[in-house]
Amino acid sequence: MKKSIFTALILGLLICSQAAAQSSLLELNEAIRLFPNDVNNYIYRAKIYLIQGQFDLATRDLNEAIKLEPENPWVYVERGLIYRAERKYNSAIRDYNEAIRLSSNYTFAYAALGEIYHLQGQLDPAIENLNQAIRLDPNFLWAYQVRSDVYRMHCQFDYALRDINEAIRIYPNNSYSYSIRGGINRELNQLDSAVLDLNESIRLDRTNIYANIMRAEIFMIQGLYDMAIMDLYEAVKLDPGLPHIYQIRAEIYQKLNRHDLALSDFEMNIRLIAEAIRLNPDYYWNYSYRGRAFLLLEQYELALRDVNEAIRLNPNHAWSYFFRGQIYKQLGNIDQAVLDLQRALNLNPHLELAGKELEEILPAP
C-alpha cells in the first residue's frame, strides 16, 4: 500500500519507542484506574496503541477523551493521526477540520490536513493548508517538507526545490529532507545529485525506507542491478507491504531474464496495490503504478483501464500519459501514443523517457 514519506515524522511525535511501549502502557493503565477523568492519560495511551498498531484500542481511548473534553482540539488531531495511519483519510480530514474550528491557529492541524489532501492527490487544498501552517510558523520543518513533495508530485520543481532547501536550512540533519530533494533531482534527471542526497538521507537514518527505494530505482536506471536489489532487500526488511518495492524488483528481474521471479514480484505488487485502492480509491498514483505493472506483463487492456482511471482522477499527471502512450504504442495506435507522449512532455519537460519514446515512433525529418 502507498505510504507517505512523512509517516516516520508523524510517528516521531509519539512518546515512546516500541521497546518502551509495554512498560509505559502498564503505567498508564494504572494512571487511568486512579484518575479516570484525566484526558491526557487517554491520549498518551492512544499514542502507545498507535505505535503497536492497535488502532481500534487507540480510537477507543480518544473517543473516551472526546467524551470528557469535546472542545479539546488536541484530541481531534490525535484521532486524526490514527485515522491517517489506517488510511481512513476522510475521517482524518473531518477531525483535523474540527481541531481547526476549535483552534484557528493550530499549526500542526493545518499541516496534517495539507498532507492528507496531498495523499489524495488534491493539489489546491493541500497547498492552501500548508501555506497557512507556514504563515503561522515560518520555521515549521514538516510543512516545508510536505509542501515540497506536493510541488514535486505536480512537476513544479522550482517551488519544490525552494521549499526543501529551506527545510534543510532550518534543520540540516533531517533524513527526510534529503530523500525529498533526492526525489526532486531524480525527476529532473540529475541522477548523480539524487544519489548523493539519498546517500546522505540513509546515513542520517538507515530506516528511511523511501530513500532506499528511490536509490534502488536510480541504480536500476543506471544498470547497477546488484546494488538496486540490495537496497530493495533492505526496504523489504523495513516494510514488506510497500508495492513499489516489488514493482522495481520485478522490472530488474525482467531485465535479467529471471522471469519466474519477475512474475512473482509483479503479482505481489498488484495484490498490494489492489488493497491500497480499496482503502483509498481516489489516489491516482495507485492506478498509474498498477497500469505500469500490467503494461510490463503485456496485459494491455487492463493497463489501459487503470491508466485511464489515473488520468480521470488527475488529468495533469505526466507519468500516466507516458504510460498510456507506451500502452497505445504496443496496441498499434500510434497517433494516440504520440498525443499522449507529447502531453507527458508538456506537463513535465524533464521526462526524458517520453522524449525517447517519441523519437522511436516519429519518422526522422
Number of residues assigned to the chain? 365
- Look up cell 548523480; give the residue: 192
CA distance 303 to 290: 7
C-alpha grid cell for residue 327? 500502452
**Local confidence pLDDT in tens for the 365 residues of the chain:** 334 434 434 444 444 455 566 667 888 888 888 898 999 999 999 998 888 889 999 999 999 999 999 999 999 999 999 999 888 899 999 999 999 999 999 999 999 999 999 988 788 999 999 999 999 999 999 999 999 999 998 889 999 999 999 999 999 999 999 999 999 999 999 999 999 999 999 999 999 999 999 999 999 999 999 999 999 999 999 999 999 999 999 999 999 999 999 999 999 999 999 998 988 888 888 999 999 999 999 999 999 999 999 999 989 899 999 999 999 999 999 999 999 999 999 999 999 899 999 998 887 66
- Per DSSP, the three-state class of 193 is helix
Domain boundaries, the chain: 1-85, 283-365
- Residue 278 CB burial class (10 angstroms; 0-12, 13-18, ≥19): exposed
Architecture of domain 283-365: Alpha Horseshoe (1.25)
Residues sharing a CB contact under 8 Å with residue 158, sequence separation 6 or more, in sequence order: none
One fold for both 1-85 and 283-365? yes
* Cβ pair 201, 176 in contact under 8 A: yes
- CA angle at residue 272 from 242 to 262, to 5 degrees? 85
Q: For the whole model, what pTM was predicted? A: 0.82
Percentages helix, strand, coil for the chain, rounded to the nearest 5? 80, 0, 20
Separation CA 225–CA 94 (nearest Å): 44
Fold designation for 1-85: 1.25.40
